[in-house]
Chain A
Amino acid sequence: MSDDIYREIILDHYRNPRNKGKIAGPDVSIHDSNPLCGDEIDIHMKIEGDKIKDIKFEGRGCAISQASASMLTEMVLNKQLTSVKDLTKDDILENIGLTNLGPARIKCALLSLKVLKLGMVKYYADRDPASAKKLQEDSRTL
């Protein structure tokens, strides 16, 4: 089973994460952690005209959480928030190619999506309270 998880692409994103670091003057910065294992992710975004113009993450944790965050930043860079906000758990698991993780490790894979959703909650708080509320609810299911 571990052979299916720790594939070349996961190890590559773990050891050479894409879009890792900070952004000068981000529009949104958000942090969250997984209390079970202590994985941590920060996401910083520049948003222009409803588009994610830049995204960077910082974090520490297991290969799954960090590779998943790296792949998520690639997935949403230059995308419209309107399409990003509806991303689901399955979208992420398919994107990273890990569809049969156990309940404990799924949390690792989904932490970055949770942080991204919480970031959008912050962004939408005043602009679009209804979307903010929906994203907040989504984030609780992750």
Chain B
Amino acid sequence: MQKSALNVRKIRKDFPILKREVMGGKQLVYLDNAATTQKPLSVINAINNYYMNYNSNIHRAVHQLAEEATAAYEETRKKIVGFINAGSTDEIIFTRNTTEAINLVAYSWGRANIKRGDKIVITEIEHHSNIVPWQILTQEKAAKLEYVGVGDDGYLKIDEFAKYLDSKKVKLVSLSQMSNVLGTIVPVNEMIKMAHEKGIPVLIDGAQSVPHMPVDVQKLDCEFLAFSAHKMLGPTGVGVLYVKRDLLEKMPPFMGGGDMIKEVHKYETRYNDLPYKFEGGTPNIADVIGFGAAIDYLQNIGMDRVREHEIDITKYALDKISAVKGVTIYGPANATDRGGVISFNIGDIHPHDLATIMNDHGIAIRSGHHCAQVLMERLDVSATSRASFYIYNTKEEVDALISALAEARRLFRI
């Protein structure tokens, strides 16, 4: 067996949940990482330590606990700046998740900039969170949503994208950098350049890409980047929106309330400085602090090595799964063009039935439309099964999936 660049055995020891048995004594095989990843002990401890030792609200009180909590919360913001190479902490806004980050752009930037007859360009591979906010906005503004198609090979039709950009009505492009179903890595570098040539800003949905590969916002030169902590070892309830400073300065606030203000009078308010202007209300302090520990963990490994490990395991899994009789795999055939996500179907076994059979073997996979019904319609399937990998997954776990597939074929007599 080819040796992985990561010491996966050692990494696994940092994740208490991976020792768990399920379904009456089966070793857990967790292959649902595109939905959410497991958390290392360092993340769990960071959250625990906050509540045990310095729980306090931030940015207001002058007592010691508040100072410690504020420092820890802001420390995560600094770590994010380093992680995605942002220009400054002013450009990093904490949200609940990627969905809220995209909605923030739609409600704040979108409402101020999208007018009747304008167009927003997205693609057929988008997650519902990068479709529905734009549907709401375009319906409200009598604007139009355009979809760049995806080919049967799992790659976006870049020529279609180029054609859409010819229209002077296009005011925003919003793209997933990695499909949560097909795994396709989208050539956003090239697409951002194409949009910028026409003066069109670009939002990158990094929910799947940021956790799995190096992402540098200055190199990409995107205007917006959204991603979630819980898909990259961090806790649920924390998302990040990066916005280029010059745009952010012109954006109206998203949610009004505490912490986002400088002065409030009866009929007017002076808003707070960036990025606080966009963080109304007490934020998710504990989980932001936990996210800081997750970023440390990934930085220690190095995102290049995370990516290498995933190419390695995905290549192995693609070979093994495609050798199973009756299997259809969706998305690019080449592992270097996709993230560690493999969607497939087998014979006439519905994905929910397959997931139930997998669960009997202690294997957690996802089945369903993966919040990508537009793509499901395009693929002409009602659902797919999806195995998705992360730093702690092994080739032995892929082998376990393959044996369970054989069992499924036996049960369904195919």
- Interface positions of A (Cβ within 8 A of B): 1-3, 5-6, 11, 14-15, 36-40, 60-64, 105, 108
A–B pairs, 12, beta carbons within 8 Å: A2-B356, A2-B407, A11-B412, A11-B413, A15-B348, A38-B368, A38-B373, A38-B376, A38-B383, A39-B382, A63-B349, A105-B356
**Would you call B411 and A62 a contact (CB within 8 A)?**
no
Residues in B whose Cβ lies below 8 Å from that of A37: 352, 367-368, 383
Is there a chain A Cβ closer than 8 Å to B338's Cβ? no
Is there a chain A Cβ closer than 8 Å to B353's Cβ? yes
Is there a chain A Cβ closer than 8 Å to B357's Cβ? yes
The 5 closest A-B pairs by CB, nearest first: A62-B350, A62-B352, A2-B357, A6-B411, A38-B369
- Interface positions of B (Cβ within 8 A of A): 23, 348-353, 356-357, 360, 367-369, 373, 376, 382-383, 407, 411-413
**Would you call A36 and B368 a contact (CB within 8 A)?**
yes
Residues in A whose Cβ lies below 8 Å from that of B349: 63
Residues in B whose Cβ lies below 8 Å from that of A64: 352-353
The closest CB in chain A to the CB of B404 belongs to A2
In the assembled complex, how far is the CB of residue B312 from the closest CB belonging to chain A, in whole angstroms?
31
Interface hub of B348, B411, B413 (most chain A Cβ within 10 A): B411
Known: A6-B412, A15-B348, A38-B373. A60 touches B353 (CB 8 A): no
**Would you call A105 and B348 a contact (CB within 8 A)?**
no
**Would you call B348 and A62 a contact (CB within 8 A)?**
no
**Would you call B350 and A63 a contact (CB within 8 A)?**
yes
In the complex, what distance in Å separates the CA atom of A14 from the CA atom of B349? 10
Of B351, B360, B367, B382, the contact of A2 (CB 8 Å cutoff): B360
In the complex, what distance in Å separates the CA atom of A5 from the CA atom of B354? 12
In the assembled complex, how far is the CB of residue B409 from the closest CB belonging to chain A, in whole angstroms?
11
Of A3, A60, A61, A108, the contact of B411 (CB 8 Å cutoff): A3
In the complex, what distance in Å separates the CA atom of A26 from the CA atom of B110? 46
Residues in B whose Cβ lies below 8 Å from that of A14: 348
